[in-house]
Amino acid sequence: MKSAPFDYLAADDLADAGALLREGGKPVAGNQSLGPMLNLRLVRPGRLVDLSGLPELRRVEEREDCVRLGAAITHAEIEDGEAADPTGGWLRAAAAGIAYRAVRNRGTLGGSLAHADPAADWVIVMTGLCATALLAGPEGARRVPLEDFVTGPFATALGEGEILTAVEVPRPGRGARWGYWKFARQVGEFAKASAAVLVDREAGRLRCAVGALGRQPLLLDDPAGLIEGRVDPGEALRRALPERAVEDLALHVTALRRALEAATA
C-alpha cells in the first residue's frame, strides 16, 4: 500500500522548522519508522516537515562533561565514529547493532527516540547512560532526562510543535564500565529483551535499565545491590513487575544478567 498524499517541505533551519510545524505538520528525519507507518496508513499527516538537514540538528558539540549529539545524526555516523563518542566506543557498538546498514544510513538518533519504540536500541542505551534530551518548541527550549522523555510505548514528553534537537551524553568517569545486552531473533532486528548497566562510581552514576518490556525502560531500584551481587536480577525484575508471569520474564532476566556480567567482569 502507498501512503495517503501529503505535502513535503524541507526546513532550512530550526526557526523555519518551528514555524512550519506551528502551521501544522509532522516532522520527518530518516523516514525509517515513519515511512512504513505512512504506507500502512497508520498516520496520515497532510504535511511532512523534513528535519534531516537542519544545521542545528546535524551538529556535534564536544563539551567538558558531555557530548551533545544533534538529533539528525544518523546511526551510521555514530557507528563509523564520524560523530564523537564520549563513551570511548559504547555508542558505536550499540549503533552497529541497529537494523542493517541501509536503515542505519538514513535513520537518526532523534527519530529513534521520538518514535519511542519500546524495543529500540537508543531508547534503552540512552536511558542507561543517563543522557538528557534537549527540546525546542513554541514555549522555548527545555531539557528532559531520558527516563522522563520516553513516557510509554511510542509515547514521549514532546509537546505540540516541539522538536528534539539534541541528546546530551555525559562523559563517563575514570574506570567506568558498561554492559548492554540485546536478544533479537536475528542479528540487526529489534530486541525481544534488552538491558543496559552503567557502573560509573567516579561520577556517582549506577544504573540498571531493562528494555523491550512493551513500555518505557524500567530503571531498577538498588542498582548498587545488583552490581555488587547482593540482589538477584530475577528477584529484582519480579518485584518491579509483579503483574507479569515469571515465564515471560526469563529472557529479560537473562539479558539483565548478561549486561551485569559485561559491566562487572
Ligand X SMILES: Cc1cc2nc3c(=O)[nH]c(=O)nc-3n(C[C@H](O)[C@H](O)[C@H](O)COP(=O)(O)OP(=O)(O)OC[C@H]3O[C@@H](n4cnc5c(N)ncnc54)[C@H](O)[C@@H]3O)c2cc1C
Which chain residues interact with ligand X by CB under 6 A? 26-34, 51, 71, 98-99, 103, 107-108, 110-112, 114-115, 120-122, 158, 163-164, 188-190
Q: Which is nearer to ligand X, 67 or 199 (CB)?
A: 67
Closer by beta carbon to ligand X, 37 or else 66: 37
- CB closer to ligand X out of 146 and 231: 146
CB of 220 to ligand X, least distance (A): 21
Min dist CB 81 to ligand X, Å, is: 19
Helices (H), ranges, 63-169: 75-79, 90-96, 101-106, 109-115, 121-128, 146-149
Q: How far apart are CA 6 and CA 4, in angstroms?
A: 7
Q: How far apart are CA 93 and CA 118, in angstroms?
A: 19
Residue type, 88: G
In terms of CB distance, is 98 or 193 closer to ligand X?
98
Distance, CA of 215 to CA of 124 (rounded, Å): 11
The grid coordinates of residue 10 equal 524541507
Determine phi and psi for 206, rounding to 5 degrees.
-125, 130
Cell matching residue 198: 552503567
CB of 146 to ligand X, least distance (A): 14
Which residue reads 529472557 in cell numbers? 251
What is the spatial order of strands in the sheet that 7-10 belongs to?
Answer: 7-10, 47-50, 26-28
Q: Bridge partners of 199? A: 177, 206
Q: What are phi and psi of 224, to 5 degrees?
A: -60, -40
Which residue number, 51 or 208, has a Cβ lying nearer to ligand X? Answer: 51
CB of 225 to ligand X, least distance (A): 29
Q: Which is nearer to ligand X, 84 or 184 (CB)?
A: 184
